[in-house]
Amino acid sequence: MERKNKLYEGKAKILFQTDDPNVLLQKFKDDATAFNGKKKGTIANKGFVNNQISAHLYKYLSSYHVPTHFINTVSDTEMTVVALQMIPVEVIVRNIAAGSLLKRSDFKEGDVLESPVLEYFLKDDDKGDPQITREEILNQELCSEEDLDALSRLALKINAVMKSFWTRRNIKLVDFKLEFGKNKDGKIILGDEISPDTCRFWDAETDEKMDKDRFRQDLGKVEEAYEDMRRRVFMEAPLESE
Ligand code: TMP
Ligand code: ASP
């Protein structure tokens, strides 16, 4: 698979074209940003850790019939992925109150939500990625109603599968962000990444933060937390949940 022109460079990843128009190469960077790029830094080895974690989780989700863009790991920091027409919506699933939800509710950090909360944010850096409603998504024709229903169902399924995966690794899946796109046949596929950059992970016993909040909130031991999450992904986990 030959790496060709750079197609897009984001804050944490670069997408390259390949000799196959339906395949892209996704490279994970060590760069980290927060608060819409206002805080900048690097997390040593993050590209490697996020590539490995994302690859494993996409393979795991595929085994539960969740369609993902992952094709192959091609180097420490690179994977090949299916080229998608991305839907400019960030889909958030929350199980425990944290982050921006605290500003929009009376929940306290750590409150367990009775059922998973699904939210949508417009993927637009200039506008600061504002929260949007289902009706706004449809009125702005960001995707069809059928697509929105399909990706919302997928997001809740991914949550159920991931919650059990992480519970068996002594991790609380607090919340996470997903991005979806359509492949050349118009099918909805999970894109982007699933990693400590895009999820909140808390140690199940101590509630210690094991994700990018360590960088966002200057909690220290950022690299150690990412590496610990990589170790937990690959550990032999008990089969039964809880
Ligand atoms: P929030 O509580 O700040 O809205 O974040 C919810 C989840 O989404 C959290 O797991 C972190 C993730 N996230 C991203 O992946 N990218 C982003 O730009 C933001 C703001 C959050
Ligand atoms: N990645 C986003 C940014 O740089 C926000 C975040 O993850 O907190 O702005």
Q: Give the domain-ending residue among 54, 82, 110.
A: 82
What sign does the dihedral 182-187-188-192 (CA atoms) show? negative
**Cβ of 34 below 6 Å from ligand 2:** yes
DSSP 209-232: B-STHHHHTT-S-HHHHHHHHHHH
Enumerate residues lining ligand 1, CB below 6 A. 92, 99-101, 129, 175-177, 198-200
Beta bridge partners of 28: 13
Q: What is the atom index within ligand 2 of the atom nearest the CA of 32? A: 4
Please tell me the predicted confidence (pLDDT) of residue 240: 60
Probe target for ligand 2 pocket from 9, 31, 33, with the most ligand atoms within 8 Å of CB = 33
Please tell me the predicted confidence (pLDDT) of residue 237: 80
Q: What is the atom index within ligand 2 of the atom nearest the CA of 39? A: 4
Question: CA triplet 199, 204, 209: central angle to 5 degrees?
Answer: 45
Tell me whether residue 237 is in a domain. Answer: no
Element containing residue 193 per DSSP (H, E)? none
Residues 89, 202, single domain; the answer is yes
Within 8 A by CB and 6+ apart from 1, the residues are 18, 19, 20, 23, 25, 74, 80
Residues 198, 95, single domain; the answer is yes
Please tell me the predicted confidence (pLDDT) of residue 241: 47
Tell me whether residue 233 is in a domain. Answer: no
Residues 52, 171, single domain; the answer is no
* Residue indicated by tokens 């750590």: 110
Residues 39, 111, single domain; the answer is no
Residues 57, 140, single domain; the answer is no
Q: Give the domain-ending residue among 60, 82, 104.
A: 82
Q: How far is the CA of 179 from the centre of ligand 2 (A)?
A: 14
Tell me whether residue 179 is in a domain. Answer: yes
Within 8 A by CB and 6+ apart from 132, the residues are 89, 120, 121, 122, 140
Residues 202, 119, single domain; the answer is yes
Phi, psi at 214, each rounded to 5°: -65, -35
Tell me whether residue 229 is in a domain. Answer: no
Tell me whether residue 231 is in a domain. Answer: no
Tell me whether residue 236 is in a domain. Answer: no
Within 8 A by CB and 6+ apart from 141, the residues are none
Tell me whether residue 232 is in a domain. Answer: no
Element containing residue 155 per DSSP (H, E)? helix 145-167
Sheet holding 171-178: strands in order across? 131-132, 112-122, 89-96, 171-178, 199-203
Q: How far is the CA of 8 from the centre of ligand 1 (A)?
A: 21
> Domain of 23: which CATH number?
3.30.200.20
Residues 74, 97, single domain; the answer is no
**Cβ of 11 below 6 Å from ligand 2:** yes
What is the domain count for the chain? 2
Residues 114, 154, single domain; the answer is yes
Each of the 242 residues of the chain gets a pLDDT tens digit; together they read: 788 899 999 999 999 999 999 999 999 999 999 999 999 999 999 999 999 999 999 999 999 999 999 999 999 999 999 999 999 999 999 999 999 999 999 999 999 999 999 999 999 999 999 999 999 999 999 999 999 999 999 999 999 999 999 999 999 999 999 999 999 999 999 999 999 999 999 999 999 999 999 999 999 999 999 999 999 999 888 776 44
Residues 103, 17, single domain; the answer is no
Which residue range is the domain that position 186 belongs to? 85-224
- Residue 118's Cβ-count burial label (10 Å; 0-12, 13-18, 19+) is middle
Sheet holding 188-190: strands in order across? 85-86, 180-182, 188-190
Whose CA is closest to atom 6 on ligand 2? 34
Whole-number Å distance between alpha carbons of 24 and 12: 16
Whole-number Å distance between alpha carbons of 163 and 175: 10
Residues 15, 52, single domain; the answer is yes
Q: What is the atom index within ligand 2 of the atom nearest the CA of 36? A: 9
Q: How far is the CA of 94 from the centre of ligand 1 (A)?
A: 10
Q: How far is the CA of 176 from the centre of ligand 1 (A)?
A: 7
Q: What is the atom index within ligand 1 of the atom nearest the CA of 101? A: 2
Residues 68, 90, single domain; the answer is no
Q: Of 55, 106, 95, 128, nearest to 200 (Cα)?
A: 95
**Cβ of 164 below 6 Å from ligand 2:** no
